[in-house]
Amino acid sequence: MLRSIAYQVLDKDVMLYEHFIPIFRGKRRIYREGDGEWQQSQLKEFVHSVLEQRQPRPLLLFVDALDECNEQAVRDVVGFLESLSIHAVQAGFELRICLSSRHYPNISMKKTLELTVEKSKEHRRDIATYVREKLRIRDYAIEAEIQKKADGIFMWVVIVVSLLNKAYDEGRIEAMQKTLQEVPNDLEEVFNTLLRKDDPNKAEMILMLQWVLLTQRPLRPEELLSQNRGHLLSHQRH
């Protein structure tokens, strides 16, 4: 995560990029024949050095989906960012950090302004608008039940609205009501249900997930599609 933050900061700021080049070249000379992977301590040192440059404009860091990372890595990065903010104040540097996450893992900071999105009226209004615009038909009872079961989880709404539209196409409003009754409230259970259900493309979906999880490097979309098709065709011939 820290590597990603450093990369994106460099990608957006030419002055910081120019400051980074000598550091990169120095490391490359040292590790010409060895392991040149950047260590956490080196990345932290570089990010700290950014503050010492006293940039004329503020630095804004947006870190999304902390809950999707390893908990210990999250705690380490959050702790580092907290110390970085203190250092920024001492250095007279304007640094703003926004972290977003689901409620797990529960990681606190000493000084922070916390906003629980799903409890805000604006968030619930956005959900209501999405349901009204995306649902195939207008049915106030179904719309109200969606919002109630969603409990503020927008991703749940997106998936369930798609399922309800499919049910409507296949069996009209009664099928929508049945689907809504059966769909779990918990988002992870919704994913589990989708993975367990019979689907003509299930083998392809599982194979694609395996490629994503087990590959040694991130695959480009065209590579993923090519690998998937090639494997399925080979399997069909056998």
Query: Do residue 46 and residue 27 come from a single domain?
Result: yes
Query: Do residue 176 and residue 216 come from a single domain?
Result: no
Which pLDDT score, from 0 to 100, does residue 233 have?
A: 47
Query: Do residue 89 and residue 61 come from a single domain?
Result: yes
pTM of the predicted model, to two decimals? 0.64
DSSP letter string over 146-206? HHHHHTT-HHHHHHHHHHHHHHHHHHHHHHHHHHHHHS-SSHHHHHHHHHHS--TTHHHHH
93-136 tens-digit pLDDT: 888 889 888 777 677 888 888 888 888 889 999 999 999 999 98
Asked if residue 235 has pLDDT above 80, the reply is no
Comparing 5-14, 48-57, 68-77, 217-226, the range with the smallest average pLDDT is: 48-57
Query: Do residue 127 and residue 183 come from a single domain?
Result: yes
Confidence of residue 216 (pLDDT cuts 50, 70, 90): confident
Contacts 24+ apart (CB under 8 A), 224-233: 228/204, 231/207, 232/203, 232/204, 232/207
Query: Do residue 190 and residue 214 come from a single domain?
Result: no
Average pLDDT of span 32-41: 70
Query: Do residue 109 and residue 124 come from a single domain?
Result: no
Query: Do residue 51 and residue 145 come from a single domain?
Result: no
Which pLDDT score, from 0 to 100, does residue 228 have?
A: 66
Query: Do residue 67 and residue 142 come from a single domain?
Result: no
Mean pLDDT of the chain: 82
155-212 tens-digit pLDDT: 999 999 999 999 999 888 888 999 999 999 998 899 888 878 767 777 777 788 888 8
Last residue of a domain, one of 56, 90, 114: 114
Which pLDDT score, from 0 to 100, does residue 14 have?
A: 81
Amino acid occupying residue 7 = Y
Query: Do residue 168 and residue 213 come from a single domain?
Result: no
158 is in which domain, residue-wise?
Answer: 118-196
Confidence of residue 66 (pLDDT cuts 50, 70, 90): confident
218-234 tens-digit pLDDT: 778 888 777 766 555 45
Domain count, the chain: 3
How far is residue 53 from each of residues 47, 81, 114, 175, 188, measured CA to CA in Å?
Answer: 10, 17, 29, 62, 44
Last residue of a domain, one of 91, 114, 137: 114
DSSP, collapsed to helix, strand or coil, labels residue 215 as coil
Last residue of a domain, one of 70, 94, 114: 114
Query: Do residue 137 and residue 184 come from a single domain?
Result: yes
Query: Do residue 57 and residue 108 come from a single domain?
Result: yes
Query: Do residue 152 and residue 164 come from a single domain?
Result: yes
